[in-house]
Amino acid sequence: MAGIVDILPKEYGYIILTLVAYYFLNFYMQIQVGKARKKYKVFYPKLYATEADTKDYQIFNCIQRGHQNSLENVGIFFVLMVVGGLKHPVICAGLGLGYTVARFFYFTGYSSGDPKGRLPIGGFNGLALLGLAIVNIWFGVSLLKA
């Protein structure tokens, strides 16, 4: 009986490493939100700040929202990486790395306090996610034709 390492393509290691890279990005974002909570005195269980909490509520909310948006998309990103990477690991790893880098710029741009700051480079995360979806469609169709 073959083991999992014998079944997966050798390049699947790139998928795993890309997902770990995203883990570190998420950890970085968590730290930034934690620092912002202390700095602006927005304590749990509040998710977002109001003007009554801090005069800098807009900056805190942008930092929180940058991380929250990443969490909203992480599930589909991971699924598209894991499944699509079974057939096209190098393409998915490249798109995943692009997604991760774009997400970093999305978060740092958003954290500036100006929501428009998330878009110049960070906006490319949507293209990377679309690319992953296309690879998965391609994989699904190839399975149906086999």
Q: Is 91 contained in some domain?
A: yes
**Residue whose structure tokens are 């998309």:** 73
The 3-state DSSP class for residue 137 equals helix
Phi, psi for 28 (deg, rounded to 5): -60, -45
For residue 73, the domain's CATH number is 1.20.120.550
Q: Is 83 contained in some domain?
A: yes
Please report, in tens digits, the pLDDT of each residue of the chain (146 residues total). 577 878 899 999 999 999 999 999 999 999 999 999 999 999 999 999 999 988 999 999 999 999 999 999 999 999 999 999 999 999 999 999 999 999 999 999 999 999 998 888 888 999 999 999 999 999 999 999 98
- HEC string of 86-122 equals HHCHHHHHHHHHHHHHHHHHHHHHHCCCCHHHHCCCH
Contact status, residue 19 vs residue 81, Cβ threshold 8 Å: yes
Q: What is the Rg, in whole angstroms, of the alpha carbon atoms belonging to the chain? A: 18
| Distance of alpha carbon 118 from alpha carbon 22, whole angstroms | 18
pTM comes to 0.92
Residue-level pLDDT at 1 = 52
Q: Which amino acid is at 89?
A: P
Q: Which domain holds residue 93?
A: 64-141
Question: Looking at the 3D structure of the chain, how many domains does it have?
Answer: 1
Residue-level pLDDT at 4 = 80
